[in-house]
Structure 1
Amino acid sequence: MNIRDSHEYEISTQIKDQELVKQRRRQIVDCAVKLFIKQGYHKTSTRQLTKEIGISTGTLYEYISTKVDVLYLVCRAIYTDVEASMKNVHFTSEDGRKVLKEIVREYFLVCDRLSDHYLLLYQVTHFLPTNFQQRILAAELEITRLFLDAIERLEKEGKLDLDTDTINFIGHTISVLGHTWAFRRWYFAKHYTIEQYIEKQTEFILGFLSADTVIA
């Protein structure tokens, strides 16, 4: 998977050092999430944001052009982190079922780590310009594609007998189940650790798959 912004979506910066840009924008994102969740995107001023980050307004605008850029960076950070996390999955395993379980585990772990980001994502995505919204949705579909690829691999191995619509349904369901930890963390975290949640949801997913055919 490669969730990268093409030039038409790139946010302009005056800084040449790309590693510095990456580090500073990560700091901007983390601080923005705290403020946006606490008081809302529209009620958060640029001055409040720069105070939280610990930089001047002038410095902030060396890394972004508008406040909307900050919002987009927050939304995009989720998918960048998911991509980085998924690199840990051993896709070369000969066991398709193991690959699917590892993908689900890595995905749920990053959903746990970015729970606040996901909550904010669903609250504010509609404030983004259409081109940014389309990019976010495309990134979401790229992540779902990972689950679809793993399920289709089981199909090719002869361990499943599902039609395309059912495979798509299951892939998108896995994506939503990861988000569910963030949405209902207020309940689940009182009763389960994230590892227990992953175990139960993985059993559910594999059980749903085996409803049509037995996974060897």
Structure 2
Amino acid sequence: MRRREVQASVKDELLIKKRRNQMIKGAVSLFKEKGFHRTTTREIAKASGFSIGTLYEYIRTKEDVLYLVIDRIYDEVKERLERDLSGKKGTLESLKLGIANYFKVVDEMQDEVLVMYQEAKSLSKDALPYVLNKEIAMVAMFENLIRDCNDNGEIHLTEEQIKMLAHDIFVQGQMWGFRRWALRNLFSIEEYIEVQTSLLVKGLINNS
């Protein structure tokens, strides 16, 4: 899907990336603590380590920060799947690796994931579909992984089952972020990945 452009007056791409990473880190911490509406752009600038004037060189509105958060999550998932699975497509091992990579992204970006879902309601009606479509695009990555396994004869699922399984994987990854207060008392992230993957693959083998 086409990326929504967040305007910047600065032309140095490396500097834009650096400043926006600082901004995301500062804003996520504030949004988690205070919520989107109660956080000011001045507070975001301070938490990011620069002035309000500098902040507006890299974004135009506070809403832009939520776009940057969802883009960062999406890009990280996409990059890991493309990097690690290029030579293993169509196998159950590729699916297991894809699940593990996604769960690890959620573990590493728990605060971002939490803020994304808590504050998505704060986006305008025009802006919200962008975030929802990004989520659908991430689910589609898993649909493609599962479909490759299906086409390769590793598993045997209908198209409806493929779509449902992709959503199941996506939600189970999110659950590690949303329920971490309870799950961390039971599992490490590695143990969580092992248990969830085992349950998923067991169901696939039984279905086949």
TM-score normalized by the length of structure 1: 0.90
Q: Distance in 1 between matches of 2:26 and 2:89?
A: 42
CA distance in 2, matches of 1:44, 1:94: 44
Mapped partners of 1:123, 1:203: distance in 2: 30
Structure 1: unaligned runs, 5 residues or longer? none
- Equivalent residue for 1:185, pick from 171, 180, 190: 180
**Contact 1:32/1:74 (8 A) holds in 2:** no
State the TM-score, normalized to the length of structure 2: 0.93
Determine helix, strand or coil for the equivalent of 2:127.
helix
Does residue 162 of structure 1 match 2:157?
Answer: yes
Distance 1:198 1:127 in 2: 32
Which residues of structure 2 form unaligned runs of 5+?
Answer: none
Aligned pair 1:146/2:141, yes or no? yes
Matches of 1:87 and 1:151, distance apart in 2: 14
Aligned residue number for residue 69 of structure 1:
64
1:148-204: CA deviation from partner (whole Å, max 9, x where unpaired): 112112211223222111111011100000000000000111221101100001001
Question: Whole-Å Cα distance in 2 between the matches of residues 119 and 212 of structure 1?
Answer: 33
CA RMSD of aligned residues (A): 1.6
Give the percent of matched residue pairs that are identical in Structure 1 and Structure 2.
Answer: 36
Contact 1:50 1:60 in 2 (8 A): yes
Q: Distance in 2 between matches of 1:162 and 1:43?
A: 47
Deviation at 1:32, TM superposition (A): 0.3
Corresponding residue SS for 1:87? helix
Q: Work out whether residues 147 and 171 of structure 1, in 8 Å CA contact, stay in contact via their aligned partners in 2.
A: yes
How many equivalent pairs are there? 208
> Deviating runs (4+, > 4 A) in structure 1?
none
| Cα distance in 1 between the residues matched to 2:81 and 2:147 | 18
In structure 1, the partner of 2:95 is: 100
Distance 1:94 1:65, change over 3 A: closer
